[in-house]
Chain A
């Protein structure tokens, strides 16, 4: 589960901070390092850096270290940190920002975005999520055939209860969805 960040910590590659990041920085300066976020986070125990440590690292200019950590990918989006923060920092939104930045820059623990990428690839084509194809794509992207086979009993039990989606549902407006997304991507603003 843990990611080896010690090697990247010494590289100290200076990354250009995007405008978005600078905007977020102002928000980060409001942090009083009380640790309410970390204490509220149900997955903090498995993180390379807790939410409080993420902010401390960023204020010390350690963006790359943060982006290479497993922390953003362990956020389950429960929003406890956000609603409890005494400084009003929307930390869950911030985790989403970090995930996007990590993917844009290719800095993330190997495989972390794979499930999300498989998910959007079905949504973008069909207009709906396609759970079966999603899991097949995800395990294939990890070259994890054993994992895929291990899912079979689960799939079978779902199938017996008529809960196994065999075919994706394609919406009529899937072309529209595709054109909208293409337009946004074309502007470099995904």
Chain B
């Protein structure tokens, strides 16, 4: 059986732990073997890359080197769009830029690590859609999410600039959600920006407006919840709904769930193992029909 090295990403430890829990639960239910990368470090994400280039690539190269030695031949799978983007960028740049490769090789050598370039970086959503596929997933769905109107908010870094899905209208999330029996709402803003790290910065105003647009459009299109594939997108569109309402005089209260949570419900998994109940915008009423 194929083994995947799993890189959870920092957010999944506490603030979006539900994503981590539901990832493990779904993987178990689908027979996907994940082995967590031992002693992984932060990918640095855009703040680190904004301040230093080689150091950020070195941070990621440490994870790639650990993955290569801990599970030779296994793909490195993450659930965070940001981590995915950063590790994928590192992997590509190391392959094409000999000068950078040398800088990074030297830095790794300082701590007795080396990276041979063999690790493939992947996002869990893409793994589920491509490696397992429709049939394997549909046949395990015991509780179809009939009647659940979900907007597939996949965000930026899943397909841009990686190109693992269409860069304007990625469809992986629509596909996977449709296999759960959910009613996937047509959502043209699905790959639009949530503001990312700007939400925590002195540029918050700009990010709040982006989130307002994302939420208002989902509501207008009849969605009763949003599905996400990234903890930062998730935090922005979920935890900041109160601030959006206060700022724009709106009255939005739209549950947001990780795609792994919705998939898990359809696979018949329990609330606790999927981290349900940790939402700031309650999804209890929304999911009650499926736990009846």
Which residue numbers of A lie inside 8 Å of B, CB to CB? 1, 42-43, 46, 73-74, 76-80, 82-83, 90, 92, 96, 99-100, 103, 111-117, 119-120, 123, 127-129, 131, 135, 138, 142, 154, 157-158, 161-165, 169, 171-174, 176-177, 179-181, 183-185, 187, 189-190
Contacts and interface: CB of A to CB of B under 8 A. Distances in A.
Contact of B62 (A96, A177, A187): A177
Please list the 10 inter-chain residue pairs (A to B) with the smallest Cβ-Cβ separation, ordered nearest first.
Answer: A116-B47, A78-B193, A119-B47, A79-B160, A190-B52, A176-B111, A165-B14, A127-B41, A129-B10, A76-B196
B192 to A, nearest CB: 7
Interface in B55-80: 55, 58-59, 62
A176 B59 CA distance: 10
Contacts of B239: 154, 157-158
Nearest to B46: A77
Given A1-B205, A79-B156, A96 B50 contact: yes
Interface of B: 10-11, 13-17, 39-42, 44-55, 58-59, 62, 103, 106-108, 110-111, 113, 156-157, 160-161, 167-168, 192-198, 200-203, 205-207, 210, 239, 277-280
A120 B15 contact: no
A70 to B, nearest CB: 8
5 contacts: A76-B207, A92-B161, A96-B53, A100-B53, A123-B42
A162 to B, nearest CB: 6
A82 B160 contact: yes
Contacts of A123: 41-42, 44, 48, 59
B14 A43 contact: no
Nearest to B207: A76
A164 B201 contact: no
Contacts of A46: 203, 205-206
Contacts of B58: 180-181, 184
Contacts of A184: 52, 54-55, 58, 103, 107
Given A78-B156, A129-B42, A115 B54 contact: no
A48 to B, nearest CB: 13
A181 B59 CA distance: 8
Nearest to A42: B193
Nearest to B53: A100
B14 A163 contact: yes
B55 A185 contact: yes
A177 B44 CA distance: 12
A90 to B, nearest CB: 8
A93 to B, nearest CB: 9
B196 A115 contact: no
A161 B278 CA distance: 5
Contact of A77 (B10, B156, B200, B279): B156
B200 A183 contact: no
Contact of B50 (A43, A74, A113, A183): A113
A129 B51 CA distance: 15
Given A78-B193, A180-B62, 12 more contacts: A43-B198, A73-B201, A99-B50, A100-B51, A115-B202, A128-B13, A129-B11, A162-B17, A165-B14, A179-B111, A189-B103, A190-B52
A76 B55 contact: no
A120 to B, nearest CB: 5
Nearest to B15: A163
Contact of A74 (B55, B198, B278): B198
A39 B44 CA distance: 29
Given A42-B192, A77-B156, A165 B47 contact: no
Contact of B160 (A78, A169, A185): A78
Contacts of B205: 1, 46
B50 A116 contact: yes
A142 B156 CA distance: 29
A159 to B, nearest CB: 10
